[in-house]
Structure 1
Amino acid sequence: MRTVSFTLNISIDGYCDHTMSAPGEELMDYFTGTMEDVDLLFFGRVMYQLMFPYWSDVAKDQSGTAAENRFAERFSAIDRVVVSRSLDDSNDANTRIIRGNPAAELLKLKQQPGKKISVDSVSMLPELIAAGLIDEFNLVVHPVIVGKGRLLLPPGSLREQLDLKLVNTIHFESGCVALHYLRQG
């Protein structure tokens, strides 16, 4: 069975916002490394539209820094599944749109042969955790307090506590800390 990994940037006060800071070379290389064993990205519409076509354009034009270009090439080459009721077409051969029941769809994908599946959707996270589908969490904590935005998990969104085991910590010169957790049990 495939491993499902949830990867996200987060502020010290628990908000998820990719615009809170600009990642440097070191952080971009870290994110590229997290994609090495991934062969499927599982997005909600909002995150998908934030990431694409931006990163595919960077990969095509080589318009970023060296580290951004490496990330863009790797990231945009991976197949994608997007959960959306409103997105009509992705205009992208690597992207498949599903209309509902993300937990059931992710379970099917998890049971297929392949490498890791990377999930990047805060809106679906409580449902996917409740279904027992997230095996590991890669959280990059940024040294900022933003005070607003979308929380990693809304209060009361989990029915029961999820116990995790910290397996790796990476400290970056920027003050960011990458935390890698595995689900216990």
Structure 2
Amino acid sequence: MGKLIASVSCTLDGVYTGPKGDENNMVSWAMPGIMDSVNDNLGMFQKAGAILMGRVNYEGLASFWPFQEGEFADAMNQTSKYVATRNRELTDVHWGDYGDTISLLSGDLKPCISELKRKIEGNIIVPGSADLVQSLLNAGLVDEFNMIIHPVILGSGNKYIESIAIRNDLRLLSTQLYETSGSMRLCYEVAKQN
């Protein structure tokens, strides 16, 4: 059975995008930490059984990774990918020359993702995709968070976790300091509700 891991880079104040008005620009704050943690992130994606993403993240990643080369591109392109969306206009998904590695999930989120977790061996990584992660957390489907906190306070931009229905307790699994950037990886297990 697959374990669903939400993975994100965010600022100390929880922003995972660029600042308000420049939301697509994470480069201004995230790049030092991303470069510092690239080998660990590569390892995470190389070991993944699948990648799950929302529509917006899918559109961004699908326009980039299929046209890249190297180890990270291989991990992103060759791993099975799934897109979960509420947008009914999205009826087909593509991933460059790797079309056999991507599928569109349709139907109710909870049974659909529960079935995916039963089907996948290994970790299911959810990179970014804040709206999807919030829905998954509200449905009790997130098993772990793998977050890189960057030493920046933006004060504006989109927060990674905003709309959570109930309290979720977390148990710290590990920490890792990236000394060059001052970023910190925090891995938490989501305590299951009774």
TM-score calculated relative to the size of structure 1? 0.85
* In 2, Cα distance between equivalents of 1:83 and 1:27: 27
Q: How big is each residue's C-alpha offset from its partner over 1:130-165, in whole Å with a ceiling of 9 and x where there is no partner?
A: 2211111000111112222211122xx222211111
2:184 maps to 1:177: yes
CA contact (8 A) 2:172 2:187 kept: yes
Inter-CA distance 139–113: structure 2 relative to 1 (3 Å threshold): closer
Deviates more, 1:20-29 or 1:4-13: 20-29
Match of 1:94 among 94, 97, 101: 101
Runs of 4+ with deviation above 3 angstroms: 23-26
* In 1, Cα distance between equivalents of 2:92 and 2:120: 26
CA contact (8 A) 1:32 1:75 kept: no
Structure-to-structure mapping, 1:12-161, within 5 angstroms = 12-17=12-17, 19=26, 20-23=29-32, 25-59=35-69, 69-84=70-85, 85=87, 86-91=89-94, 92-120=99-127, 121-154=129-162, 157-161=163-167
* In 1, Cα distance between equivalents of 2:146 and 2:54: 18
* In 2, Cα distance between equivalents of 1:108 and 1:88: 20
* In 1, Cα distance between equivalents of 2:66 and 2:31: 18
CA contact (8 A) 2:2 2:49 kept: no
Paired letter, 1:118: I
**RMSD between aligned alpha carbons?**
1.8
* In 2, Cα distance between equivalents of 1:70 and 1:164: 32
Deviates more, 1:170-179 or 1:28-37: 28-37
CA contact (8 A) 1:83 1:100 kept: no
Q: Which residue of 2 aligns with 1:167?
A: 173
CA contact (8 A) 1:4 1:110 kept: yes
- Structure 1 portions without partners, runs of 5+: 60-68
Q: How big is each residue's C-alpha offset from its partner over 1:55-100, in whole Å with a ceiling of 9 and x where there is no partner?
A: 22112xxxxxxxxx32222122111111232334323221111244
* In 1, Cα distance between equivalents of 2:75 and 2:83: 18
CA contact (8 A) 2:84 2:132 kept: no
Calculate percent identity across the aligned residue pairs: 25
* Matched residues, number: 174
Q: Which residue of 1 aligns with 2:22?
A: none
SS in 2 for 1:140: strand
1:123: Cα distance to partner?
A: 0.6
TM-score calculated relative to the size of structure 2? 0.81
1:15: Cα distance to partner?
A: 0.7
CA contact (8 A) 1:103 1:127 kept: no
